[in-house]
Amino acid sequence: MRCACNSCHTDNYNGAQNPSHTAAGISTECETCHETTAWAPSKFDHTVTTGFELTNGHSGKQCSECHTGTTANASPDCVSCHQQNYNNAKDHVASNFPTDCTQCHNNSDWNDATFDHNATNFPLTGAHVATECSACHTDGYVGTSTSCSSCHSGNYNATTNPNHSSLGISTSCQDCHTTNPDWKPAAFSTHNDYYALNGAHAAVFSDCYLCHAGDYTNTQNTCFGCHSNDYNNTTDPAHATAQFSTDCLTCHTENAWKPSTFDHDSQYFPIYSGEHKGEWNNCSDCHTQASNYAVFSCLNCHEHNITDMADEHKDVNGYVYNSTNCLTCHPTGKAD
């Protein structure tokens, strides 16, 4: 009949401290781990027997540090032993970090975290690098949106220069912004949806301040709104003195101020050559309506007496005493 080890070795069992058999609740069947030749070395192999390798920070531990009360049914989950480490770690509880410690930590040093956010589908760059985890992961770490507006809708709605909401600017922040701090510098690839940048304007596309001067809401969208100084300082001819139209596109293109497409002499009526050269000072001498240069008057300058003119034109069929008829018969300004 076989004798039970503990019938003789109870004192050995109770006195064992490495590990403490009683504290760890190790089986009293000594043969499970020991040979009859000597107590040491023990044939117990934690890795082979349990599948849980005792390495690095886990080596040299007393069984009772992990096995509370009994060695049976011990959990291999890190948090079963390290709940306090988890609770004390920054952001873990508040941000609902996963309790699977191995996702970020190794078993040598808690502070040597291996989690690399840049290996996820949302690399951290610019201002995001120094952002607290909880600022983005407000509802845990599973399913967090990578859309800019999911975190920055408040920035979008509060922006007034320009007012993103009223202009209907896209909520895809990355269309114009990078992750640099303060949202600057910003690009605006959809500028043509609001004001087409053609010709010379396209060449200054990146120099926003040139037109906006820091104010993106109240920027003028007419030529004169930006080019009033060009208009006022022009002397050949003097636009302001001659009361030229402030609609620059009437004479100029967006490619350059020169060459101008306006040619009064060949297109309309010779005033820089012929009999009218030097005979006028202001456009308003002939053009009596500043808002409509199609209206003109010959009679303001030519002091023709209506009676004398009627007599002089008595042989002209359909003669009428008005400026339109004057131009019809005298298209170059000559008397005959």
Asked whether the predicted pLDDT for residue 134 surpasses 70, the reply is yes
Higher-scoring residue by pLDDT: 138, 269: 269
Asked whether the predicted pLDDT for residue 201 surpasses 90, the reply is yes
Asked whether the predicted pLDDT for residue 228 surpasses 90, the reply is yes
104-118, 119-133, 151-165: which range is least confident on average?
104-118
Higher-scoring residue by pLDDT: 100, 242: 100
Asked whether the predicted pLDDT for residue 261 surpasses 50, the reply is yes
Q: Residue with structure tokens 């003789």?
A: 8
Neighbours of 117 (CB within 10 A): 11
Give tens-digit pLDDT for 264-309.
898 889 999 999 999 888 888 898 887 677 889 998 888 778 888 8
198-202, 216-220, 287-291: which range is least confident on average?
287-291
Give tens-digit pLDDT for 75-125.
888 888 888 888 888 778 877 778 888 888 888 787 777 778 888 889 999
Give tens-digit pLDDT for 310-329.
888 888 888 899 999 999 98
The pTM (predicted TM-score) of the whole model is: 0.49
Element holding 15 (H helix, E strand): helix 6-15
Question: What proportion of the chain, given as a percentage, has pLDDT over 70?
Answer: 96
Domain boundary at 115, 136, 157, which?
136
Q: Are residues 128 and 159 in the same domain?
A: no
Kindly state the tokens that stand for 267: 């297109």
Q: Given this model, what pLDDT does residue 276 score?
A: 92
Asked whether the predicted pLDDT for residue 233 surpasses 90, the reply is yes
Q: Given pLDDT bands bounded at 50, 70 and 90, which one contains residue 72?
A: low
Q: Are residues 108 and 172 in the same domain?
A: no
Using CA atoms, how far apart are residues 135 and 31, in angstroms rounded to an integer?
56
Q: Which residues contact 240 (CB under 8 A, 6 or more apart)?
A: 231, 232, 234
Would 106 be classed as within a structural domain?
yes
Would 190 be classed as within a structural domain?
yes
- Amino acid at position 9, single letter: H
Kindly state the tokens that stand for 248: 């620059």
Would 252 be classed as within a structural domain?
no
Would 185 be classed as within a structural domain?
yes
Q: Given this model, what pLDDT does residue 180 score?
A: 93
Would 229 be classed as within a structural domain?
no
Q: Given this model, what pLDDT does residue 124 score?
A: 93
Domain that holds residue 326: 263-336
Would 232 be classed as within a structural domain?
no
Would 98 be classed as within a structural domain?
yes
Q: Residue with structure tokens 């390798």?
A: 53
Asked whether the predicted pLDDT for residue 1 surpasses 50, the reply is no
Using CA atoms, how far apart are residues 322 and 319, in angstroms rounded to an integer?
9
Q: Are residues 151 and 123 in the same domain?
A: no
Q: Given pLDDT bands bounded at 50, 70 and 90, which one contains residue 71?
A: low
Q: Do residues 70 and 19 touch, judged by C-beta distance below 8 A?
A: no
Asked whether the predicted pLDDT for residue 70 surpasses 80, the reply is no
Domain count along the chain: 4
Asked whether the predicted pLDDT for residue 234 surpasses 50, the reply is yes
Q: Are residues 57 and 109 in the same domain?
A: no
- Between the alpha carbon of residue 179 and those of residues 79, 126, 156, 176, the distances in Å are 35, 5, 14, 10
Q: Are residues 332 and 280 in the same domain?
A: yes
Q: Given this model, what pLDDT does residue 289 score?
A: 82
The residues facing 138 across adjacent strands are 140
- Amino acid at position 174, single letter: Q
Domain boundary at 92, 109, 136, which?
136
Would 168 be classed as within a structural domain?
yes
Using CA atoms, how far apart are residues 126 and 178, in angstroms rounded to an integer?
8
Q: Are residues 60 and 94 in the same domain?
A: no
Using CA atoms, how far apart are residues 174 and 172, in angstroms rounded to an integer?
5
Q: Are residues 178 and 212 in the same domain?
A: yes
Domain boundary at 113, 136, 159, which?
136
